[in-house]
Chains A and B, each alone.
Chain A
């Protein structure tokens, strides 16, 4: 009889855990958790941490990208505010698998990687921060090849510090 309360306690704990687990399983089944599964693990840390352009390019495996006029890159020639620089990319390269946005002179040049599935058009528009005037460099991965287009953006007020 002495150990009854503790058994009950354990049973309650166990039931609570099952209930919590059940709720999570429900969310999982509903597909709510799937898109976020182990997201952080798939973040390319070496490439994003790279402090020099060459190092960043090497980390993504794009040491010798080919210049391509099939990449359409829209960015302002003069950005008054480096904290908000609109960048729009349209790739005309067949089999585009990924679009990379790089600001050459940012403290860490690699800004974003967009994996492009056949389920979307090879088009991305976003806004980035630039610490100073530099080239914006867009890479497109298609098959095992990399293609590149660049545009010079003059930044009046830098957007990285404060």
Chain B
């Protein structure tokens, strides 16, 4: 995962890139011809100093290696921003950054 947060006044512009295949379950393996099972991020949660500010539910139709951009209000230098995801197989990842 990659995260970039820029503080402009009291708004933090947060851009996140997640590394995930986001398989739709419609694609076939080019060699075996077998259908590649669905594998996609279902939930994404963003927090500011531990408090949830954004909570998303996704389908398999979010692009591979998902990108999301959102803007946190009432943010200040030193605040911690965390973004976590969980996919349909229960795999998880999380990233944190400190605003400066």
Binding site for B on A (CB under 8 A): 31-32, 34-36, 39-40, 42-44, 48, 83-85, 88, 103, 106-108, 110-121, 123-130, 159-162
Contact = CB atoms under 8 A, between A and B. Distances in A.
Contacts of A120: 46, 53-54, 70-73
B51 interface: yes
Nearest to A107: B26
7 contacts: A85-B63, A112-B59, A120-B71, A124-B68, A124-B70, A126-B62, A126-B69
B71 to A, nearest CB: 4
Given A43-B42, A43-B43, A111-B62, A126 B68 contact: yes
> What are the 6 tightest A-B residue pairs by CB atom distance, in nearest-first order?
A119-B53, A162-B27, A125-B69, A39-B43, A127-B63, A115-B55
A46 B88 CA distance: 15
Contacts of A44: 57
Nearest to A129: B61
Among A36, A88, A111, A121, max chain B CB count under 10 A is at: A36
A44 B43 CA distance: 10
A62 to B, nearest CB: 15
B68 to A, nearest CB: 5
B28 A162 contact: yes
Nearest to A85: B63
A111 B61 contact: yes
Nearest to B43: A39
A147 to B, nearest CB: 19
Interface string B30-43: 10000000000011
B24 interface: yes
B73 to A, nearest CB: 6
B3 interface: no
Contacts of B59: 48, 108, 110-112
Given A36-B92, A126-B69, A121 B47 contact: no
A75 to B, nearest CB: 13
B78 interface: no
Contacts of B22: 129
B84 A36 contact: yes
A92 to B, nearest CB: 14
